[in-house]
Amino acid sequence: MKRRFSRQGAGPDVALVADLVAAIGRDRVRNDSAERALLRRDASVFDDGVAGPVCFPGSTADVQAVVRTALRHGRAVVPRGAGTGLAGGAIPLGAPVVVSLTRMNRILDMDNDARVVWVEPGVVNLDLTKHLQPLGFHFAPDPSSQQVCTLGGNVANNSGGPHCLAYGITNAHIIAIEVVLPDGEVALLGGLEAEPPGYDLRGAFVGGEGTLGIATRIAARITPTAPAVRTLLMSFAEVRHAANTVSAVIAAGIVPAAMEVMDQRITQAVENYVHAGYPTDAAAVLLAEVDGLADGVDIDAQAIAQIGREQGATEVRLARDDTERMLLWTGRKTAVGAIAQIAPDYYLHDTVVPRAKLADVLAQTYEIAERHGLIVMNVFHAGDGNLHPLLLFDAREPGVVERVHVAGGEIVKASLDAGGVLSGEHGIGVEKQAYMTLLFTDDDLDHQNRLRKSFDPDCKANPGKVLPSGHSCADIQMLTAVPKGMWV
């Protein structure tokens, strides 16, 4: 069910704002309509929320003061990074205090020997890698939004990226997290030891979408840059052949650093936008990359090329140098931006299916879109079965938004029917709450709610997200938290 909140004024927040200003300073608190309007939504297609006062803490102590102040006033708190989330996870529901962490953007400390770097949550993903590159390292998770997304958001959503096939998604690269809990206490989850004592609360927190607290310092594992890289671009006359090549490569025992597939429509849009050298007459292209020692990557690249030909590749091209390689990846990572040439709006989905079912689910995705009169483009992390169908539309067209949501729901159900799961990296947010009961039993959801309550007994941390209505302790609190003058 979609919730719509009014955007009426913030008169009832006078006392709360005064206490927030006293706690962290006037220059770090905003309650004007413009600032609140800017932060009422994220990059998803979902209805705008209603932001309460907006705070810009500069330290763990500031975050702690904001959380405690909000708690005294009975108000919920929603942490926010760059706002690039696509599942509605950062939409403020119930006029909560919005905690924007963009000013906490320092790289704090680095231990080359231990291969660990401490950062604040507002550090931009790509900025971290640029900082590490001269030292021979990088941060492996590389979402397509890495030029703007932040480490705090990556942790909240357990983000992935093209190069997570071999290296693992965010959870595999986070060692410890300093967290301000929903009661205002500070805790260190995880640790730098090989086996930190106790439960893996770090693992529970990563992917918690801000419902378990607010990260204020993050210890990230850094990855040595491989001495050699080979990047292949393969063209196919059918999308199914590209999908089957992915399964065949993995079945052969090769685990590339990345395997990305783009269908013809999005390849044409990208080529027109970036001029990366993609073939526009192919039904699909497969971008495969291997890294490691030179001899090993040459052997793997040759094997992948041979498998591609056996599966029907019409062309196999090896990037000549780093310039061509980076251009190919620039095309892949700007794919979503390229579709603005075709339609003003899009809905980017995120499900995961078994690799063996990729071709079948893709065929269903095309059929669903055609039946609802929509354009669909597919660009996805093929190596781990993470699908990202893009439904293109013009929101000004009467009834099209409803058709988009119906088609999106059918794509989700097709993925689940194939043995897949709801999300590979975007999270649940408000987007997939309604489908949680299709994947989890009532007992499963009850245990998830118990975990949440163990962190957040008052249910004030990012209420209204992840768990479906009727299974979340935050249902009533979210609605009753709306101050007088704002309505649901």
Binning pLDDT at 50, 70 and 90, where does residue 12 land?
low
Query: What is the distance between the alpha carbons of residues 55 and 20, in angstroms, rounded to a whole number?
Result: 8
Q: Is pLDDT above 80 for 433?
A: yes
Q: Which of 425, 333, 429 is nearest to 80 (CA)?
A: 429
Share of the chain above pLDDT 90, in %: 89
Binning pLDDT at 50, 70 and 90, where does residue 194 land?
confident
- pLDDT digit string (tens) for 254-279? 999 999 999 999 999 999 999 999 99
Q: Is pLDDT above 50 for 301?
A: yes
Binning pLDDT at 50, 70 and 90, where does residue 132 land?
very high
Q: Element (H or E) spanning 44, and its range? A: none
Ranges of H-type helices in 233-357? 239-251, 264-274, 294-310, 322-333, 335-338
The stretch 419-442 carries a mean pLDDT of 95
Cβ-contact 284, 337 below 8 angstroms: no
Q: Is pLDDT above 90 for 342?
A: yes
Contacts of 442 (CB under 8 A, 6+ apart): 471
Q: Return the structure tokens found at 485.
A: 């003058």
Ranges of H-type helices in 73-160? 125-132, 151-157
Query: What pTM, to 2 d.p., does this model score?
Result: 0.92
Query: What is the distance between the alpha carbons of residues 170 and 31, in angstroms, rounded to a whole number?
Result: 33
Q: Is pLDDT above 50 for 154?
A: yes
pLDDT of amino acid 470:
77
* 341, burial (CB in 10 Å: exposed 0-12, middle 13-18, buried 19+): exposed
Q: Is pLDDT above 50 for 207?
A: yes
Calculate the CA 173 to chain-centre distance.
15
The 3-state DSSP class for residue 389 equals: strand
pLDDT of amino acid 5:
39
Q: Residue 373, by phi and psi: left (phi above 0), alpha (psi -120 to 50) or beta?
A: left
229 phi and psi angles, rounded to 5 deg: -140, 140
Cβ-contact 483, 239 below 8 angstroms: no
β-bridge mates for residue 224, sequence order: 137
- pLDDT digit string (tens) for 99-127? 999 999 999 999 999 999 999 999 999 99
**DSSP label at residue 150:** B
The stretch 162-181 carries a mean pLDDT of 96
Q: Is pLDDT above 50 for 9?
A: no
Binning pLDDT at 50, 70 and 90, where does residue 475 land?
low
352 phi and psi angles, rounded to 5 deg: -130, 135
Binning pLDDT at 50, 70 and 90, where does residue 415 land?
very high
Query: What is the distance between the alpha carbons of residues 326 and 306, in angstroms, rounded to a whole number?
Result: 23
- pLDDT digit string (tens) for 345-363? 999 999 999 999 999 999 9
β-bridge mates for residue 183, sequence order: none
pLDDT of amino acid 299:
97
Q: Is pLDDT above 70 for 486?
A: no
The 3-state DSSP class for residue 311 equals: coil
Q: Return the structure tokens found at 332.
A: 């892949």
Query: What is the distance between the alpha carbons of residues 151 and 214, in angstroms, rounded to a whole number?
Result: 12
Q: Domains of the chain by range and CATH? A: 11-102+447-480 (3.30.43.10), 107-224 (3.30.465.10), 228-336 (3.30.70.2190), 343-433 (3.30.70.2740)
Cβ-contact 94, 481 below 8 angstroms: yes
Cβ-contact 285, 233 below 8 angstroms: yes
Q: Which of 245, 247, 279 is nearest to 263 (CA)?
A: 279
Query: What is the distance between the alpha carbons of residues 423 and 292, in angstroms, rounded to a whole number?
Result: 30
Please name the residue that has the structure tokens 């080979």: 230
pLDDT of amino acid 206:
98
Q: Return the structure tokens found at 25.
A: 């300073």
Q: Return the structure tokens found at 466.
A: 């992840």
